[in-house]
Structure 1
Amino acid sequence: MPTRTDASQITSTCTIENLPEKCLLHVFSFLHQRELGKLARVCKKWRLLAYNHQLWQVVSLRPEYNGLYVNSFENLMALINVRFGPSLRYIELPCELVTSPILHELSNKCPLLKNMTLDFSNAMQLHDFNDLNSFPCNLRSLCICLSEVIFLEGFMRRIYSCLSSLQVLHLIGTFEMTSEGDEDVYEVVNIGKIKAHTPNLRVVNMYGITFIDDSHIELLTSNCIHLECLALNFCLRVKGTSFKTLIQRCKKLKSLLLQHTGVENENMVNVSWETSQLHELDLTSTELSAECLENVLVRISYFTYLGLGHCEFFTDKILGEMVKRGKFRQLRAIDIGNTPALSENAIYNFLQTNGRNLHGLVLSGKPKLTENFWLNVIAFLPNIRTCVLGTANGWFLKLTTKVHIDQVIEGFAQNCPNLMRLEIQWDPDTIRFSDKSSKFVDHIRLKCPHLKSFTLSDGEYYEMVKSNFERADRVKVVRSTTNYNTSIISLVSCFNDLLFN
Structure 2
Amino acid sequence: MDSAFRSNLFDIAQDASQAATAHNDSEHHIVRSISIDKLPDKLLLNIAGYLHLSELGKFARVCKKWRVIAYDSRLWTRVSLRPEFSGLHVYSPEILQALIGIRFGSTLRYIEIPSDLITAPVLHELSNKSPGLRYMTLDFSNAMQLHDFNDLNAFPCNLRSLCICLSEVIFLEGFMRRIYSCLSSLEVLHLIGTFELSSESEEDIYEVINISKIKAHTPNLKVVNLYGITFLDDSHIDLLASNCIHIENLALNFCLRVKGASFKNLIQRCKKLKCLLLHHAGVEDDHMMSVPWETSSIHELDLTSTELSAQCLESILLRMPGFTYLALGYCEFFNDKVRLRRLGILASHGMNLQGLMIAGKPKLTENFWLNAIPYLRNIKICVLGTANGWFLKMQTRIHVDQIVEFFAQHCPRMERCEIQWDPDTIRFSEKSNKFIDHIRLRCPGLRSFTLSDGEYYEMAKSNFERADRVKVVRTCTNYTTSIVSLLTAYNDLLFN
TM-score by structure 1 length? Answer: 0.87
Match runs of 1:420-459 below 5 Å = 420-424=447-451, 426-428=452-454, 431=456, 433=458, 438=462, 440-443=464-467, 445=469, 455-457=474-476
* Aligned residues of 1:371 and 1:408 also touching (Cα < 8 A): no
Checking the alignment, whether the CA contact within 8 Å between 2:251 and 2:277 is kept in structure 1 is: yes
Greater Rg by CA: 2
Secondary structure, in 3 states, of the residue corresponding to 1:382? Answer: coil
- Structure 1 stretches of 5 or more lacking a match? 459-479
Equivalent residue letter for 1:385? E
Measure the CA separation in 1 of the matches of 2:468 and 2:385.
20
State the secondary structure of the residue aligned to 2:258. Answer: coil
**Cα-to-partner distance string for 1:456-495 (whole Å, 9 max, x where unaligned):** 255xxxxxxxxxxxxxxxxxxxxx14xxx32110101100
Counterpart Cα distance in 2 of 1:432 and 1:386: 15
Deviation digits for residues 381-412 of structure 1 (CA, Å, limit 9, x no counterpart): 221222221236xxxx9438589996676555
Contact 1:258 1:283 in 2 (8 A): yes
Superposed, which structure 2 residues align to 1:3-18 within 5 Å? 4-18=24-38
- Residues in 1 aligned to 2:177 and 2:366: alpha-carbon distance in whole angstroms: 56
Contact 2:356–2:382 (8 Å) recurs in 1 = yes
Matched, 1:264 2:284: yes
Unaligned runs of 5+ in 2: 1-19, 388-393
2:246 paired residue among 203, 226, 249: 226
Please point out which of 442, 459, 462 is paired with 1:415. Answer: 442
Find 1:43's aligned residue among 63, 74, 77: 63
Segment drifting more, 239-248 vs 281-290 = 281-290
Q: CA deviation at 1:342?
A: 2.7
Alignment of 1:335 with 2:357, yes or no, is yes
Residue 94 (str. 1) matches residue 114 (str. 2)? yes
| SS of match in other structure, 2:383 | strand
- Aligned partner of 1:463 in structure 2 is none
Q: Of residues 333, 348, 366 in structure 2, which corresponds to 1:326? A: 348
2:473 is the alignment partner of 1:500: no
CA deviation after TM superposition for structure 1 residue 330, in Å: 1.0
SS class of match (1:336): strand
TM-score normalised over the length of structure 2: 0.88
Given that 2:415 and 2:447 are in contact with CA atoms closer than 8 Å, whether structure 1 keeps it comes out as yes
Indicate the SS of the match to 1:357.
coil
> Partner amino acid for 1:382?
P
Give the AA of the match of 2:195. F
Distance 1:437 1:172, change over 3 A: closer
Distance change (3 Å), C-alpha of 1:15 and 1:391: farther
Match of 1:383 among 413, 416, 423: 413
Deviation string, structure 1 residues 147-186 (Cα, Å, up to 9, x no partner): 1111100000000000000000000011111122222111
Match of residue 373 from structure 1: 402
1:345 deviates by 2.0
* Residue of structure 2 aligned with 1:253, choices 258, 262, 273: 273
How far did 1:101 drift? 0.5
Where 1:230 maps in the other structure, the secondary structure is: strand
Q: Could you tell me which residue of structure 2 aligns to residue 235 of structure 1? A: 255
TM-superposed CA distance for 1:378, in Å, is 3.3
Is the contact made by 1:273 and 1:299 (CA closer than 8 Å) also made in structure 2? yes
Conservation of the 8 A alpha-carbon contact between 2:83 and 2:89: yes
Contact between 1:403 and 1:432, CA under 8 Å: does it hold in 2? no
In 2, Cα distance between equivalents of 1:38 and 1:432: 43
Post-superposition CA distance 1:172-219 (Å, at most 9, x none): 011111122222111100010000000000000000111111011001
Please say if residues 171 and 205 of structure 1, whose CA atoms lie closer than 8 Å, have aligned partners that are also in contact: yes
Find the aligned partners of 1:14 and 1:418 in 2 and give their Cα distance.
Answer: 42
Name the CA shift for 1:325/1:432 in 2 (closer, same or farther; >3 Å). closer
Partner amino acid, structure 1, of 2:372: F
Q: Deviations along 1:309-348, whole A, 9 cap, x unmatched?
A: 1122223343112246503231111111122333312212
Give the Cα–Cα distance (whole angstroms) in 2 for the partners of residues 324 and 83 of structure 1: 54
Contact 1:214 1:237 in 2 (8 A): yes
For 2:83, the aligned partner's letter is P
What is the distance in 2 between the residues matched to 1:229 and 1:13? 58
3-state SS of paired residue (1:133): coil
Aligned counterparts of 1:386 and 1:191: Cα–Cα separation in 2: 38
User: How far 1:65 sits from its partner (Å)?
Assistant: 1.0
Task: Return the alpha-carbon distance in structure 2 between the equivalents of residues 69 and 53 of structure 1.
Answer: 18
Distance 2:212 2:189 in 1: 14
